[in-house]
Amino acid sequence: MEQIVILDFGSQYTQVIARRIRECNVYSTILRFDTPAAEIAALKPKGLILSGGPSSVYASDAPLPDKAIFKLGIPVLGICYGVQILAQFLGGKVEKGEKREYGKGTLTVADSECALFQGLPKELQVWNSHGDKLTRLPKDFVVVGTTENSNYAAIEHSKKRYFGIQFHPEVVHSPRGKEILANFVHGVCGCGREWTMRNYVEQATEEIRRQVGSDRVILGLSGGVDSSVAAALIHRAIGDQLTCIFVNNGLLRAREAEVVQEVFGRNFKIRLQYEDATKLFLQKLKGVTDPERKRKVIGKAFVDVFQAATKRAGKAKFLAQGTLYPDVIESVPIAGNPAAMIKSHHNVGGLPKNMKFTLLEPLRQLFKDEVRQLGVELGLPKEIVQRQPFPGPGLAVRCLGAITGSKLEILRKSDAIVVEEMKAADLYYKTWQTFAVLLPVRSVGVQGDERTYDFTLAIRAVESQDGMTADWVKVPYDLLEKISTRITNEVRGINRVVLDITSKPPGTIEWE
């Protein structure tokens, strides 16, 4: 399989580079900046990309690659810090800039014949994020692009097929950036367009069969996108050798348990073991109000229930998880590295060491958007594939204060109305997350000529690319009015509805 290797020097955008390459239907792999050249060569990549990063190449503790990467004989593209690596290693010079260059800029293409800029206009909007700059080019490099603040914004060594750009083509703020990357992987590296979900299905199916053989597999099915797609893929490969365990912890959304059983048990004919642990979880959560304590109680209870369920499921060698590529990429340990702050949440976490399973992770090469594409290819319904992210602890983190069955029912009914009306307005699948939050606040109201003293419900709707930052969605007033009216009329226990207009930062997406 053709691939492009990306060396990660600590940029918060490294994963974005990988995703953009895959959007060109070319497989990409992220490796640590100091991966030995011999290991890279063993992968037989068609090209190499050096990512950005927060460091300065002239600093004593700067992350530097194996210098032998420049003897691999493959095309190289350096982005931001990556172009400074090119210069530093090949005889150029990098210094602290008199002016830092952050935000939007205009790239003027100095050589329209340059392979990177084929089919692109003379001037391009680009996104900059750097304080250092090139002050002397390495031997045999020429300038192919400039910006307002840099005479060496894009450079090229045509014979060796080395390219360097000071801006970030991978971010949305560089509107034609994906075309620059496509020119590199297709035009310079000669890659085809072989990385498709249809091809991946066949490849992954064969790999699962080879790895599992005649053994059995257990998968903790949550109903979320990752575990659902993993279940469908594994079942396609090995059929009844897979047993899915679905734990109803009583903290699910409306009809979630019914939908999972309908889709996977009756439609896909997957061997599904349903565990109703609602009473146990509510009992364990009784009187617990601290958010972190809630998570720990839920996590431990889940492990206990799941462990007991695996024994009832019968002997199995493999435990399948919906682990994704961002979960397995090793963060570069660089001070100030934003990427090191990203947290991952697995479908099944913290399992005891005495559970002797071999992990099966068929999605570990994929990003979230690719998992959704795979789900479509496998025939999963839209309500599963395109469903919004849902926290591991479920409604417990959206029901503030102490958890009770009655409060959860109020929240569940209210949340269902929010989702239903957002779908009817064709907005649900266009937002990152839309949900209701039950507040531990009672207020006076008047309903049916009677005085009430009931709960307040908050509506949360945000748009985001990856959940790291988020903006609140400007939901139309008439839609908000309809949602509020329905909730106060149809859900007993709510007499006031408010809208959360906080972005992330300073707030978080979830309330707890």
The answer to whether residue 114 is catalytic is: no
φ/ψ of 280, rounded to 5, equals -60, -45
> Cα–chain-centroid distance for residue 478?
32
Crossing angle of helices 197-212 and 368-377, rounded to 10°: 90
The Cα 497–Cα 459 span in angstroms is 7
Nearest CA to 155 out of 101, 77, 48 is that of: 77
The answer to whether residue 168 is catalytic is: yes
> Which candidate in 24, 130, 157, 168 is catalytic?
168
How many Cβ atoms are within 10 Å of 12's Cβ, its own excluded?
19
Greatest Cα-to-Cα distance within the chain, rounded to the nearest angstrom: 85
Residue 305: CA atoms inside 13 Å, Cβ hemisphere, count? 24
Which residue blocks in 47-172 are alpha helix, DSSP H? 81-90
Q: Is 403 exposed, middle or buried (0-12, 13-18, 19+ CB in 10 A)?
A: buried
Contact 53, 9 (CB under 8 A): yes
Residue located via tokens 């496509």: 182
Residue located via tokens 């399992």: 351
> Which candidate in 80, 191, 244, 399 is catalytic?
80
Between the two ends of the chain, the Cα-to-Cα distance in Å is: 43
> Which candidate in 2, 101, 156, 170 is catalytic?
170
The Cα 76–Cα 22 span in angstroms is 17
Structure tokens of 152?
């060496």
- Give Cα separations from 265 to 212, 261, 307, 386 (angstroms): 22, 5, 21, 20
The Cα 305–Cα 311 span in angstroms is 10
Structure tokens of 495?
């007499």
**DSSP 3-state of 279:** helix
How many Cβ atoms are within 10 Å of 99's Cβ, its own excluded?
10
The answer to whether residue 244 is catalytic is: no
Residues marked active site are found at: 80, 168, 170
